[in-house]
Amino acid sequence: MSSTASASRSLATTHRQSGSRRTGSPKIGSAVFLLILIVYFLTPLWWLIVAATKSNSGLFTGTGGAMWFDQDFNLWENIQELATYQGGIYWRWFANSFLYALAGGIGATVLSILAGYGFAKYRFRGRNLFFSLVLGAVMVPMTALVIPTFVLFSNFGLVNTVWSVILPTLLSPFGVYLMRIYTQDAVPDELLDAARIDGAGEIRIFWRVGLPLLRPAVITVLLLSVVGSWNNYFLPLVMLRDQSLLPITVGLTQWQAHSNAGAGSEQVWNLVTAGALLSIIPLIVAFLSLQRYWQGGLSVGSLK
């Protein structure tokens, strides 16, 4: 009897060990895969940080190699030269990018909230047809609409103005889709009906009842819209001719093309890398500052 019990315990122990090995292998595989992804996504950022600290000669003939710092740390010198090169036009480009991202991001978020809430909570003629058009617009690349938009804006005299960049970015079909899907689950119809019974108007219901429950989706759409507007390249490249209206993306690309023009052209690779490094700081600050509202909105939504 004791031998049978001992054999059963031994079998159970072996089963637990084999089970732990089976469950441990996927965890190790997942950890390795995530580590590879982290290295993959952080490698370009690390290269940019390192490159921004080098001079023009250090970028190509430095002793530290492409992925490590050179003997001379020239980050502050690069930033100082960046502030004065071509009359300090970089900071004008920086301000333009901030204007386009702020106006386009906030405008696209507001329109997406209103449209998504309307599609989700109101019945009207042609609702499904209009929403199908929105879904179809999600499938169309924005770059494919730049040339028709240029022709349209040229007829109204809006080309080479800030409006030629801001107005197209106000439309976010994906933002509308995301807001409608989230509103359907996050804002119960019973809650809205209770507010109507209490005598609240539709605007007050939206502002006091619906909007607080939509905070996670609002922050998500805002971040996506701001990042998309900040990184926008093809639209301002086509719409703008005035150097003082360019965003950072187009301005730095022109400096890069100038450096690639030939041996006789002025080499400003150190300014391109330093400017690119400074251009990502606002996006990092925006994400870190909005993250707490994002997490807070998720908690409020779960409690509701």
CATH code for the domain in which residue 296 is found:
1.10.3720.10
Whether 19 is covered by a domain: the verdict is no
Whether 122 is covered by a domain: the verdict is yes
Residues 6+ apart with CB under 8 A from 232: 100, 104, 165, 169, 247, 249
Domain span at 150: 86-303
Whether 61 is covered by a domain: the verdict is no
Whether 41 is covered by a domain: the verdict is no
pLDDT at 7 over 60: no
- 201-218 average pLDDT score: 91
Whether 191 is covered by a domain: the verdict is yes
For residue 300, the model assigns a pLDDT of: 45
132 or 4, higher pLDDT: 132
Residues 6+ apart with CB under 8 A from 27: none
Whether 27 is covered by a domain: the verdict is no
In tens, the pLDDT along 116-157 reads 999 999 999 989 999 999 989 888 888 889 999 999 999 999
The total number of structural domains in the chain stands at 1
pLDDT at 184 over 70: yes
Whether 96 is covered by a domain: the verdict is yes
155 or 55, higher pLDDT: 155
For residue 239, the model assigns a pLDDT of: 95
Whether 276 is covered by a domain: the verdict is yes
Token output for 52: 């921004």
